[in-house]
Structure 1
Amino acid sequence: MNPHLVLIGGGHTHALVLRALADRPATGLRLTLIDPEPRAAYSGMLPGFVAGHYRLDQLQIDLARLARAAGARLIRGRAEGLDRAARRVHVAGQAPIPYDIASLDIGIASDLPGLPGFAAHAVPAKPLTAFAARWQTFATEAASGRAGPRIAVIGAGVAGVELALAAQHRLARAGCAPEIALLDAGREILRDVRKGARAALTDRIARLGIALRTGVRIARIEAAGVVLDSGETIPAALVIGAAGTRPQGWLAGTGLHLTDGFVTVDETLRAVSDPAVFAVGDCAHLSHAPRPKAGVFAVREAPVLRENLIAVLTGRPLSAYRPQKDYLKLISMGEKRAAADRLPLRIEGRWVWRWKDRIDRRFMAQFHDLPGA
């Protein structure tokens, strides 16, 4: 029987691998994709969607259509375990899925399970698909007056700042009087951003009247909003969690070597503790070249992963993935304006947003024009 390759998760890297296989099919290979959703959201366009610049369908990758074009079977379900001895993937509500080689691209979560009330009264920014759907509902309700336009964003890193600025723009355009609070436990925001881009974003936050609260400790989330240790309540009809990231919990039960909960991989993107398992994107830790969680690395991993998955099934040598040391960040500022974080200089403007928009649309265009789909 032909070897069976199972892609667990429809993240950016796996989506690009499937797109490449649609153009250049791998003969003699059975291919399966497992994901709980029929569509995956592209992270690069999420702030633009929140701001109202894109429709939901414009940032969605149709996994069912993509799998069909690549000759893969799509199994709708959430992976919840890996039996490495028997080489089986356990999927909620499904029979175990056998594999010869498995690859993990399941992303991360930004919920705060240790924070009382978060699960009941807040929404994490990741997974992206669930957040996008929740935001769509809230924005509609706020525009019609059925929900108050008050939002609290927990976490003032790049993701939190982009979402706060985007939400403010969307609600203001809808005729609301938005009240946005941006909360962070640290004294300094945007710690991973150079001073030029940080200044541009900080000025924008102040100009729009977003309430920036640093050095705060959150006691709990309630239906009325965020309760601080001091007893103060920050009113919010929607609380968004964008503070840090955490790995999917079920990875801890796989027996794979993990680094801070993420699958430890070598330069070939293969798990250091199991040659039959690969991991990419945010769920992986690059042991040979640790990098922050960023979509640019997931995109650059795709051609190496495709070649290595086929190589290991055909007995060929594997290639090494060498991530770049630095990368350009184009950060949305709510309206059609963005800041570029690459040099210490302050680089911002509508032209930066148009640059980012072209990059994002070009990325998504490859999933719209699929051979044989």
Structure 2
Amino acid sequence: MNSALPPPRDIVLIGGGHTHALVLRSWGMRPVPGVRLTLINPGPTAPYSGMLPGLIAGHYTRDALEIDLVPLARHAGAALVIGRAEGIDRAARLIHVPGHPPIRYDLASIDIGITSDLPGLPGFADHAVPAKPLGAFANRWEDFVARTAAGEAVPRVAVIGAGVAGVEIALAARHRLAVAGQAPEITLIDAADTVVRDVRAGARAALMDQIAAQGVTLCTGAGVAKVTAGDVRLASGRTIPTGLVIGAAGARPQGWLTRTGLYLTDGFVTVDRHLRSVNDPHIFAVGDCAHLSHAPRPKAGVYAVREAPVLLANLRAAATGGRLRAYRPQKDYLKLISMGGKRAAADRFSWRLEGALVWRWKDHIDRKFMRQFKDLPQIRLD
């Protein structure tokens, strides 16, 4: 007597962020029988955010920080759909990607990152570039560097937002243009009176000293009124001439999430301790696009990386009827902050720790993270 096999279950990963990349790597070592895996991503690669300041500074090539999703998906036995998801029909369990038929799912996970776009700022969309998503920004930056070298653009950069990300970008941009023989003019703009507020005193002192030593102009207490093709205009009436304007002010969610009907917190998908949407058990969310309702945390790559084993376990459990695992994020973490040249500052305790050795430490961690996607392990057949 023949018994019918259960139909395959479809798991769809929306976005090739750090968490999903790690899930694919582990899934390939031990796939779940009867489960079909699909990855949706705007391109065949996904950038690793930790190495972006090094790319801006010229320490890394673009290839060094791109996770190649094609061999990774093949390793996991996953179908790869190149396109940007723009909607989820939760009633029919379909994901909509322009140019593709609707993609069915039994379980889905969202890992699409954030944007640092400033949609409410006049002129920003036409004359500036957000630092995130990283892929589009990296393209725009390399084009700007090439145009300054050819004398087609002035080596002036204005960075809106003087948190850690903005400071890293400003110092890296200054280093790259100076090494290329330019005389860069870099301006950091922030509406607050105090900058790099999200690090301890030792790291902040190191960063402030570098801002001064490298001649980066710090413009605080300055609201931006408008961005034009050649300058940034402040609410005070001051005008800052620039060849490139970069937005690094805060983390903003992808807009299409508002149309999913998922519960959101400030636009981010609200998830429970199992990384599941609080109002749809068929959808998970991880990385910067998720809000941890049980333990809110700042947006940082370290949480995305450490969510990976929990998401993997829970996708397996949800597909096979197993027990879900709780994600308990750490309360604090080590920040290694690039300072333009091959120097970095460490932010973990109150003391000041900086220099070339800290940069080599950061470089080792970043390269080790990327190596695991190039040296894929063998599939287990037992």
Match of 1:340 in 2: 346
CA contact (8 A) 2:52 2:65 kept: yes
Identity over aligned residues, as a percent? 69
Match of 2:180 in 1: 174
Does 2:161 correspond to 1:163? no
CA contact (8 A) 2:13 2:40 kept: yes
Match of 1:216 in 2: 222
Superposed displacement of residue 24, structure 1? 2.0
Q: Find 2:209's aligned residue among 203, 209, 214.
A: 203
Q: Find 2:231's aligned residue among 210, 225, 229.
A: 225
Does 2:51 correspond to 1:58? no
Tell me, in whole angstroms, the C-alpha distance in 2 between the residues paired with 1:90 and 1:197. 44
Tell me, in whole angstroms, the C-alpha distance in 2 between the residues paired with 1:119 and 1:261. 20
Q: Which runs of 4+ in 1 moved over 3 A?
A: none
Secondary structure in 1 matching 2:146: helix
Superposed displacement of residue 217, structure 1? 1.0
**Residue by residue, what CA displacement relative to the aligned partner does 1:32-80 show, whole Å, maximum 9, x if unpaired?**
0001111111000000010000000000001122111111011111111
Q: Which amino acid aligns with 2:367?
A: R
CA contact (8 A) 2:93 2:105 kept: yes
Secondary structure in 1 matching 2:256: helix
Match of 2:270 in 1: 264
**Residue by residue, what CA displacement relative to the aligned partner does 1:83-107 show, whole Å, maximum 9, x if unpaired?**
1111000112221110000000010
Tell me, in whole angstroms, the C-alpha distance in 2 between the residues paired with 1:297 and 1:45. 16
What is the number of residues matched between the two proteins? 373
Tell me, in whole angstroms, the C-alpha distance in 2 between the residues paired with 1:52 and 1:104. 32
Tell me, in whole angstroms, the C-alpha distance in 2 between the residues paired with 1:26 and 1:365. 25
Superposed displacement of residue 187, structure 1? 0.5
Does 2:20 correspond to 1:14? yes
TM-score for the superposition, normalised by structure 2: 0.96
Does 2:235 correspond to 1:235? no
Match of 2:198 in 1: 192
Query: Which residues of 2 match residues 245-260 of structure 1 at below 5 A?
Result: 245-260=251-266
Does 2:285 correspond to 1:279? yes
Does 292-301 or 245-254 show the bigger shift? 245-254
Tell me, in whole angstroms, the C-alpha distance in 1 between the residues paired with 2:38 and 2:372. 21
CA contact (8 A) 2:29 2:378 kept: no
Tell me, in whole angstroms, the C-alpha distance in 1 between the residues paired with 2:74 and 2:231. 44
Superposed displacement of residue 370, structure 1? 2.3
Match of 2:4 in 1: none
Q: Find 1:367's aligned residue among 357, 373, 377.
A: 373
Tell me, in whole angstroms, the C-alpha distance in 2 between the residues paired with 1:16 and 1:134. 28
Superposed displacement of residue 372, structure 1? 7.3
Q: Which amino acid aligns with 1:143?
A: A
Query: Which residues of 2 match residues 20-169 of structure 1 at below 5 A?
Result: 20-169=26-175
Superposed displacement of residue 29, structure 1? 1.0
Structure 1 segments unaligned to the other structure (5+ residues): none
CA contact (8 A) 2:345 2:353 kept: yes
Match of 1:318 in 2: 324
Tell me, in whole angstroms, the C-alpha distance in 2 between the residues paired with 1:196 and 1:144. 40
Tell me, in whole angstroms, the C-alpha distance in 1 between the residues paired with 2:29 and 2:171. 39
Secondary structure in 1 matching 2:373: coil
Tell me, in whole angstroms, the C-alpha distance in 2 between the residues paired with 1:193 and 1:211. 20
Query: Which residues of 2 match residues 285-300 of structure 1 at below 5 A?
Result: 285-300=291-306
Tell me, in whole angstroms, the C-alpha distance in 1 between the residues paired with 2:49 and 2:84. 20
Superposed displacement of residue 271, structure 1? 0.6
Q: Which amino acid aligns with 2:279?
A: S
**Residue by residue, what CA displacement relative to the aligned partner does 1:121-180 show, whole Å, maximum 9, x if unpaired?**
000000011111111111122123221100000000010000000000000000000000
Q: Which amino acid aligns with 1:275?
A: P
Secondary structure in 2 matching 1:112: coil
Pairwise CA RMSD: 1.0
Secondary structure in 2 matching 1:367: helix
Secondary structure in 1 matching 2:109: strand
Q: Which amino acid aligns with 2:50?
A: G
Q: Find 1:301's aligned residue among 307, 310, 318.
A: 307
Does 86-95 or 112-121 show the bigger shift? 86-95
Match of 2:3 in 1: none
Tell me, in whole angstroms, the C-alpha distance in 2 between the residues paired with 1:119 and 1:372. 45
